[in-house]
Amino acid sequence: MTPTVLVLAETSGGLLTGPTKEAIGVARTLAGSDGSVAAVTMGGPSALEALASFGLKEVWMADVPPEAATSGAVAALAAHAADESRAALVLLGGTTFGRDVTGRLAVRWGAAAATGVTEVAITGPEEVHVRRPVYGGRATESRRLVGPRTVIALRPHAFAEAAASAGTPTVHALDRSVIPVTEGAARRRSLAPAEPGSGPSLSDATIVVSGGRGMRAAENFHLIEELAQSLGAAVGASRAVTDAGWRPTSFQVGQTGRAVSPQLYIAVGISGAIQHVVGMVSSRTIVAINTDPSAPIFKVADYGLVGDALTILPALTREVRKVRGLPAN
Amino acid sequence: MEIVVLIKPIPEAESRLRATPDGRGPEPEGIKFVLAGYDESAVEQALLLKESLPGSSVHAVSFGPARCEETLRAAIALGADRATWVEGPPEGSDDPVLAARALAATLQTVPHDLVLGGKQAGDDEEGIVPGAIAELLGIPSFGYVTDLRSSGPSGLTFLRPTEAGVEQWEAPLPCVVGLQQAWNDPRSAKLPNILKSRKAPILKVDWPTTSTALALEAKPRSIGEKFELPAPRTGAKMIEFKTPEEAAEKLVRLLREEAKVFP
Ligand SMILES: Cc1cc2nc3c(=O)[nH]c(=O)nc-3n(C[C@H](O)[C@H](O)[C@H](O)COP(=O)(O)OP(=O)(O)OC[C@H]3O[C@@H](n4cnc5c(N)ncnc54)[C@H](O)[C@@H]3O)c2cc1C
């Protein structure tokens, strides 16, 4: 079997995004020594340069400005590239963009599809097996995808990024006339770039530090942010905090907020109500800091500290900065 | 505006999940299925739009087994004007592309200016259905949307938080929108409306009709093989300390050396 695996490549500032490099890494493994890895990009010539440094043999390229890159336009171009490259499998990074395109591309190209995938294997001529977390990470399922074509969006951070390897790809221009006319009326009007110092977003972060009512007052919440900053972590909150208006609802973790599954989740002054726990229980390692030794959060945590967050947090931030070699502040 | 809102019954948050005896999927027996999560937000958004645009109506549509009816009644109790249950195959299927095909076959026959859904279902979290439906209907789609507003009779504006920042979009109708937003307090149904919803008519599109329309595409191509639950957590290792400094030092050491999650 010599499958061609096509990666839908995304760039940011002329460089491949992390999730795209992860997809290229997975594609190389799946294609093996006799298969091949190709890419399709909407990023034009600057993306091409980035792709060349990852040893891709063939690249299908369109130059679609981000203002017009709707999921419908991208799916149409990607399906066209998938046909031309005779791909059996299209891989996408697990970004907002990648996941948004998956369903459309599956229909457009006549493929089986899955998203949020953490393991993938080609198990037969028309069969791919995937594993993926479900129910906010409370369970994991294995699925069999059948048929000659498959589209898969990977879960971010689940795979290692491909290493660079030089090459000169053959470039094929994609014909923009495949984009349905109905896509023309949608327009991205603006992009407010994420603030450089604002840290990772909750759903991307590998570490999350969350504060609850146990922080006592809005004025103390900066202690959570300082610990998060020292760890390169995102900041989360319980609903008690967002309801009290200490932080906006976009910070809320739980049933009615975000579900997160970082490598490390630090819950500070959070009691561990079920509605909070369902949003973070699938984190790999959980630390709880709470004055009440019988708080339910200690039942789901891996490490527990019984004590006052207001005194422990500054010490913890100092220790983290020291160990990571960051200047004390 | 004719608003269609797509909903799926999902286990309530407190449910104790387990696998079916053959281990292939989640056991529905003994689970309470509810309207929740992003779908509940979608219903709230549909009702807000309806209230802001006189003459609009909200049509709740659900694909799957018979339990869809109860979830549709929950949407009616909240204020949906009508409801359609698109029956799934008798042997069950959780292939999201098949669900999208079945839903699109029905949507082709009903008015739809805006098709609203959650960005993903609260159980399988695939997020495939909204885009797949839009492709089948030949209209634009936008996932991960927040702050959806109507901009006159034929358009929408909304925000979309992505890795690069927050995008602001303008989109034409008809289109499909997958909502990211989760309201803390979506409205709850009033008792008289709950009682009324029990007798409300629900239109049923039976599986033979759908399966005939889908022909060769009526077979699932994504099939659950195994459903696994993690070993239950056994409770925290409690760290003893006398001073905050000692607590900090011990915790950092454990995160580095034992859990190996220190950055
Ligand atoms: C339908 C519904 C949906 C919900 N959705 C969510 C959701 O998405 N997310 C969410 O978080 N909640 C949600 N909730 C609310 C949830 O039930 C809890 O009320 C909430 O999580 C409590 O927040 P908390 O742990 O910060 O506050 P509390 O429960 O008040 O706990 C505060 C904790 O801080 C500890 N503490 C006090 N002082 C200190 C100190 N100085 N140092 C250290 N610890 C201290 C206390 O011992 C206590 O354990 C929902 C509830 C409902 C009914």
Per CB-CB distance under 8 Å, the chain A contacts of B130 are 103
In a domain, A194, yes or no: no
In a domain, A192, yes or no: no
Task: Flag whether the pTM goes above 0.90.
Answer: no
In a domain, A165, yes or no: yes
Distance from A55 to chain B by nearest Cα, in Å? 26
Query: CB-based contacts of A215: which residues, under 8 Å, 6+ apart?
Result: A221, A223, A224, A241, A246, A268, A269, A309, A310
* A48-77 residues touching B, CB cutoff 8 A: 70-72, 75
Q: Which of A97, A112, A190 sits opposite B168 (nearest CB)?
A: A190
pLDDT digit string, tens, across residues B170-223: 999 999 999 987 666 789 999 999 999 999 999 999 999 999 999 999 999 999
pLDDT digit string, tens, across residues A129-181: 999 988 877 889 999 999 999 999 998 878 889 998 888 899 999 999 999 99
Q: What is the pLDDT of residue A210?
A: 98
What is chain B's mean pLDDT, rounded? 94
Contact at CB, A114 and B126, closer than 8 angstroms = yes
Contact at CB, A114 and B233, closer than 8 angstroms = no
User: How many angstroms does the Cα of residue A201 sit away from the middle of ligand 1?
Assistant: 22
Query: CB-based contacts of A226: which residues, under 8 Å, 6+ apart?
Result: A313, A314, A317, A329
Whichever domain contains A106, its CATH number is: 3.40.50.620
Give chain A's domain count.
2
Range of the domain at A108: 4-185
In a domain, A291, yes or no: yes
pLDDT digit string, tens, across residues A275-310: 899 889 888 899 999 999 999 999 999 999 999 999
Q: Are residues A55 and A167 in the same domain?
A: yes
Whichever domain contains A266, its CATH number is: 3.40.50.1220
Find where tokens 């900090």 sit: B248
Q: Are residues A227 and A260 in the same domain?
A: yes
Q: Which of A108-112, A278-282, B8-12 has the highest mean pLDDT?
A: A108-112
Beta-bridge partners for A173: A61
Q: What b/e string do you get for B49-85 counting C-beta neighbours within 10 Å, with b at 16 or more?
A: bbeeeeebebbbbbbbbebbbbbbbbbbbbbbebbbb
A80, A118, A134, best to mutate vs chain B, most B CBs in 10 Å: A134
**Cα distance between the two ends of chain A:** 58
Q: Are residues A114 and A58 in the same domain?
A: yes
Contact at CB, A70 and B100, closer than 8 angstroms = no
Residue A197 has pLDDT above 80, yes or no: no
Crossing angle of the two packed helices B129-137 and A71-84, in degrees rounded to 10: 80
Distance (Å, rounded) from C-alpha A252 to C-alpha B199? 37
Q: Are residues A169 and A238 in the same domain?
A: no
In a domain, A64, yes or no: yes
Per CB-CB distance under 8 Å, the chain B contacts of A291 are none
**Cα distance between the two ends of chain B:** 50
Which three-class secondary structure state does DSSP give residue A89?
Answer: strand
Distance (Å, rounded) from C-alpha A150 to C-alpha B124? 18
Q: Are residues A122 and A255 in the same domain?
A: no
Q: Which helix (H) or strand (E) holds A210?
A: strand A207-211
In a domain, A190, yes or no: no
Q: Are residues A242 and A141 in the same domain?
A: no
Q: Are residues A218 and A172 in the same domain?
A: no
At A319, give phi and psi (nearest 5°): -65, -45
Q: Are residues A126 and A47 in the same domain?
A: yes
Distance (Å, rounded) from C-alpha B210 to C-alpha A178? 29
In a domain, A144, yes or no: yes
Distance (Å, rounded) from C-alpha A288 to C-alpha A299? 10
Q: Which of B142, B164, B245 sits opposite A12 (nearest CB)?
A: B164
Distance (Å, rounded) from C-alpha A130 to C-alpha A280? 23
Mode of pairing for the β-strands spanning B114-118 and B82-87: unpaired
Tokens for A17, please give them: 């995004």
Query: What single DSSP character describes residue A206?
Result: S
Partner A contacted by B132 (CB < 8 A):
yes
- Report the alpha-carbon angle B252-B258-B261, nearest 5: 65
Contact at CB, A146 and B245, closer than 8 angstroms = no
Q: Are residues A18 and A120 in the same domain?
A: yes
At A7, give phi and psi (nearest 5°): -105, 130
At B120, give phi and psi (nearest 5°): -160, 160
Q: What is the pLDDT of residue B225?
A: 97
Q: Are residues A302 and A264 in the same domain?
A: yes
Q: What is the pLDDT of residue A196?
A: 56
In a domain, A201, yes or no: no
Domain end, chosen from A185, A216, A250, is at A185
Q: Are residues A175 and A253 in the same domain?
A: no
Contact at CB, B25 and A185, closer than 8 angstroms = no
Q: Are residues A60 and A179 in the same domain?
A: yes
Taking the CB of residue A173, how many other CB atoms lie within 10 A of it?
A: 9
Q: What is the pLDDT of residue A250?
A: 81
Residues A201-222 have a mean pLDDT of: 91
